Amino acid sequence: MRIVPFYRKKKSYSDDKLLAEYLKIQDLDILGELYARYMHLVYGVCLKYFKNREKSQDAVIQIFEKLMVEIKRHEIRNFKSWLFVVTKNHCLMELRKAKPVKTILIASDEELAGFMEKEPELHPIDREQEEINEKALNDCIEKLKEEQKKCIRLFYFENKSYREISVALEIEEKKVKSFIQNAKRNLKICLER
Partner 1 sequence: MTHKKRHIKKEDFQRYLENQMTEAERNTFERELQKHPFEAEALEGMQQISPIELKNDLKELKTKLKPVKRKINYRFWAAAATFLLLISAGVMWFQLKDRSPVPEVAQSKSIQQQEEKVDSKMQAAEESLPETSAKENTEIRETAQPEQILLNTEKIKSPESESQINVSSDKKMLKAEKGGLGEQNPQIPDDEVIAGKAISLGDSTPLQGAAIVERGVKNRNESDLKGNSQLKVSATSDSSFVASYAGMENTEFYSDSDSAIVVGVEPKQVAMEEAVSARNVKGKSATGRNVSSVTKVKPDAEAQPRTGMDKFQKYIEENAILPEDYDDKRVVVKVKLKINSEGEITEIQNTNNVDSTLFKRAKDLIKQGPEWVPEFKNGENIESETDLKIVFKK
Contact between 36 and partner 1 per CB under 8 A: yes
Among candidates 69, 59, 2, which has minimal Cα distance to 31? 69
User: Where in 143-182 is the site for partner 1 (CB under 8 A)?
Assistant: 155-156, 159-164, 180
Region from 12-20, 32-40, 96-104, 132-140 binding partner 1, contact rule CB under 8 A: 32-40
Q: How far apart are CA 55 and CA 36, in angstroms?
A: 19
Q: Which is nearer to partner 1, 1 or 54 (CB)?
A: 54
Contact between 124 and partner 1 per CB under 8 A: no
- Per the CB < 8 A criterion, the answer to whether 174 and 181 are in contact is no
* 3-class secondary structure per residue, 75-136: CCCCHHHHHHHHHHHHHHHHHHHHCCCCCCCCCCHHHHHHHHHCCCCCCHHHCCHHHCCHHH
Contact between 57 and partner 1 per CB under 8 A: yes
Question: 3-class SS at 3?
Answer: coil
Among 20, 61, 93, 189, binds partner 1 (CB under 8 A): 61
The string over 38-51, giving b where at least 16 C-beta atoms fall within 10 Å of a residue's C-beta and e elsewhere, is: bbeebbebbbebbe
Contact between 95 and partner 1 per CB under 8 A: no
Give the list of residues 6+ apart from residue 129 with CB closer than 8 angstroms, or none.
none
Among 34, 71, 76, 83, binds partner 1 (CB under 8 A): 83
Contact between 13 and partner 1 per CB under 8 A: no
Among 34, 46, 112, 144, binds partner 1 (CB under 8 A): 46
Among candidates 60, 71, 42, 27, which has minimal Cα distance to 9? 27
Q: Which is nearer to partner 1, 2 or 65 (CB)?
A: 65
Q: Which is nearer to partner 1, 51 or 100 (CB)?
A: 51
Contact between 116 and partner 1 per CB under 8 A: no
Q: Which residues bind partner 1 (CB under 8 A)?
A: 28-29, 31-32, 35-36, 38-49, 51, 53, 56-57, 60-61, 64-65, 68, 80-81, 83-84, 88, 120, 122-123, 126, 128, 155-156, 159-164, 180, 184
